[in-house]
Amino acid sequence: MHFLPFLFVGAIIAGATMIPSSKNNGPTIHEFASPVTYSSLRYVNNSGICETTPGVHTMSGYVDTSTTVHTWFWFFAARHDPQSAPFTLWLNGGPGCSSMIGLFQENGPCTVNSDQKTTELNPHSWNTVSNMIYIDQPTGTGFSYGTDTINSTYAAAPAIWRVLQTLFSSPEFSAYRSREFILATESYGGHYGPKFAQYFEVQNNLIAGGKLNGIQINLVALMINNGWIDPLIQNQAYVTFAQNAPGYGPLVNESTVKRMNDSYFKSNGCLTQQQACYNAGNSSSSNGICSDADDICGSLYLDAVGNRDPYDLRQNSSEAFPPEYYVNYLGLSSVTRAIGATSSEYSECPYPPQELFARTSDDARTLLPQLGNVVDSGIRVLVWAGDTDIICNWVGNQAVVLAMQWSGKAELNATPLTNITLSGKTIAAVQNVKKFSFARVYAAGHEVPAFQPAAALAIFKQIIAGQPLHSV
C-alpha cells in the first residue's frame, strides 16, 4: 500500500492548510488539515468517473484520521438544486463491506456495463434529489486502508463521526454542514444505523452544551434496508420464512422445518443461547457467550438458504444479480488514478474487518433498544426490506419493528400493511405510524434499489420530504 505524503504549506483558510498538488502528472490532489479533528483530507475534484451529468460536482479521496487510518469517500452533488438539497450518507454492511456496492449496484449515479470498462448513467440515482456520500468503513474495507482497530458497532460510531467532522470542517464541505442529514444503511446497517444515529445525537448535545468542540450533524432521517437488527427475533424468522415465504411458498421441506424448529427451541438451543448473550450484556464473559449463540444459531440461516441465493430466493447460489462488473472496473488503473484511490487494490468485503467484529461477537448482539430510542427521538425512520431476501428477510424485519419498544408500539401493531403504488403499479406494502414507516418492497432482493430502482427512488424522495410512505 502507498499513499500521497502531506504537504502542509501554503495558504491558510479558516485555520486550515489547503494545497492543490499533482503527482506524476496525475489528477490534482487537494489537501486540507482540519482544525476541528486534527485529521486530514485529500481528494480529487470532478474525476469524470461514473457521474457524467454536466455541471454535477464530485469529490473522491481520503479522510486521514491518523497516520495509519485512511478512510475512503466518494461524494456526488445533487443533480438538481445541490445548494438546497439534503446530504445523505450511504453505508453498506458486512461488517466490512464496501459502500461502492451501493454506489455501483444500487443507488449511485452510474452502473458498469458488461464490458467492465464503461459505465452508463443511472436515471434513478439518489443524487437526483440529494447530495450523496459513500464511505468505506471500517479501515481495510473497499479502498480504505491502514491499521484497523474497529472491533464492534460501538467502536465504529466514533470513527465515522470523526470522518464526518473532518469533512464538514473543510471548505469543500462546509456548505453542507447545516443541511438536513439522512443516514441510509443496509444489511449490517441494522446495527450501524441505530448506534450511529444515537451517537450523533449524544455528540450534538455535548457540542450544544459547550462540552465538545465540533460541528452538529443535523440528522433528520434514518433508513435501514434489509437490516440485521435483532438476532433473537431474526433467527426465529429464518424458520418462519423458510416454512412459507409469503408470496413465494415454502423454501424447504417439512423435515428441514422440523430440524430448524428443534435447533431454535431445544434445550440449550438457539433461543436459550441467544437470550444468554443478551443477558450477559457487556460483561467480560459476554464475548464467549455470544460466540456460542452465533455458532448454534448459524445452522438456521444455512438451512433456510439451502442452494438458493441468500440475497434473492428466486435465484440459485450460482446466479448473481446484480452483476459484479464494477469490481473489475475499479481495478482499472485509469479509474483508480482518476478518482485518487491510492490503496493497492479494491477489496469488496475483505475478511480482516469481519474477523475483528467476530472476536466480540458483535452480530449476536441486539441494537433494537437503540432503534426504539432513535424512533422516539423524533427523526423520521424507515425500516424497509425486499421480500425475496432470505438473509435479512422482511418477515424478520417486520417482527423486529413490531417488538420495538417506543411510544407508537401499540398503534404500529394495530396498523395493517397497506399497498402503495407507483404510476398505478403496486410496489410495496407499508405501515406508517407517527414518523416511523415499515415497508415490504415487492419483487426485490437484499439490495432493494438494484431490483426496484424506480420504487426505491420514490420511497427515498418521500423520506427526505418527511412524508409517510404513500402512492405516487
24 within a domain of the structure (yes/no): no
Label residue 319 by pLDDT band (50, 70, 90): confident
| Domain-ending residue, one of 281, 305, 329 | 305
pTM metric for this prediction? 0.93
* Phi and psi torsions of 465, nearest 5°: -85, -5
CA distance 237 to 434: 26
CA distance 410 to 77: 40
Is residue 142 a contact partner of residue 148, using CB atoms and an 8 Å limit? no
| Domain-ending residue, one of 287, 305, 323 | 305
Q: Containing domain of residue 267, as a range?
A: 252-305
443 and 360 in a common domain: yes
Q: Output the pLDDT for position 296.
A: 95
- The verdict on whether omega for the bond into residue 95 sits within 30 degrees of 0, i.e. cis, is yes
**How many other CB atoms are found less than 10 A from the CB of residue 80?**
13
Crossing angle for the helix pair 189-208 and 153-168, nearest 10 degrees? 60
Is the pLDDT reported for residue 349 higher than 90?
A: yes
Grid coordinates representing 287? 464475548
275 and 228 in a common domain: no
**Side-chain-facing half-sphere of 320: CA atoms under 13 Å:** 5
Is residue 274 a contact partner of residue 297, using CB atoms and an 8 Å limit? yes
| 382-424 pLDDT, tens digit each | 999 999 999 999 999 999 999 999 999 999 999 999 999 999 9
Q: Output the pLDDT for position 25.
A: 59
CA distance 188 to 226: 9
Q: Look at the block and give the residue holding cell 432503534.
A: 371
Average pLDDT for 292-314: 95
Average pLDDT for 144-164: 96
453 and 316 in a common domain: yes
What would you measure as the largest C-alpha separation in the chain, in angstroms? 72
More confident residue, 332 or 33: 332
459 within a domain of the structure (yes/no): yes
Q: What burial letters (b/e) apply to 223-262, b meaning 16+ CB within 10 Å?
A: bbbbbbbbbbbbbbbbbbbbbebeeeeebbeeebbebbbe
12 within a domain of the structure (yes/no): no
* Mean pLDDT score across all residues of the chain: 92
Q: Output the pLDDT for position 287.
A: 96
- Could you give the residue numbers annotated as active site? 187, 389, 446
301 and 184 in a common domain: no
422 within a domain of the structure (yes/no): yes
| 189-238 pLDDT, tens digit each | 999 999 999 999 999 999 999 999 999 999 999 999 999 999 999 999 99
Is the pLDDT reported for residue 8 higher than 90?
A: no
Label residue 317 by pLDDT band (50, 70, 90): confident
14 within a domain of the structure (yes/no): no
Residue among 118, 122, 150 nearest 137 (CA): 150
262 and 174 in a common domain: no
CA distance 467 to 459: 9
354 and 404 in a common domain: yes
Which sign, positive or negative, has the C-alpha torsion 357, 363, 364, 369?
A: positive
382 and 470 in a common domain: yes
Is the pLDDT reported for residue 277 higher than 80?
A: yes
Is residue 71 a contact partner of residue 144, using CB atoms and an 8 Å limit? yes
| Domain-ending residue, one of 260, 277, 305 | 305
223 and 188 in a common domain: yes
β-pair type (131-135, 87-91): parallel
Is the pLDDT reported for residue 17 higher than 50?
A: no
- The total domain count for the chain is 2
Query: Identity (one letter) of the amino acid at 91?
Result: L
234 within a domain of the structure (yes/no): yes
Residues 6+ apart with CB under 8 A from 219: 181, 182, 183, 197, 200, 201, 204, 379
345 and 271 in a common domain: no
| 25-60 pLDDT, tens digit each | 578 888 888 777 778 999 999 999 999 999 999 999
Task: Tell me if residue 204 falls in helix, strand or coil.
Answer: helix
CA distance 303 to 345: 35
23 within a domain of the structure (yes/no): no
| 205-219 pLDDT, tens digit each | 999 999 999 999 999
Q: Which long-range contacts (CB under 8 A, 24 or more apart) does 462-465 make?
A: 463/182, 463/221, 463/223, 463/380, 463/382, 463/437, 464/86, 464/88, 464/129, 464/130, 464/180, 464/182, 464/221
Is residue 42 a contact partner of residue 29, using CB atoms and an 8 Å limit? yes
Label residue 320 by pLDDT band (50, 70, 90): confident
83 and 117 in a common domain: yes
158 within a domain of the structure (yes/no): yes
Question: How wide is the angle at C-alpha 247 spanned by C-alphas 241 and 251, nearest 5°?
Answer: 40
Is the pLDDT reported for residue 23 higher than 50?
A: no
Label residue 10 by pLDDT band (50, 70, 90): very low
192 and 264 in a common domain: no
Query: Identity (one letter) of the amino acid at 185?
Result: T
Q: Going along 23-159, which residue ranges are E strands?
A: 28-33, 40-45, 58-66, 69-76, 87-91, 110-112, 119-121, 131-135, 145-146
Q: Output the pLDDT for position 102.
A: 98
201 and 281 in a common domain: no
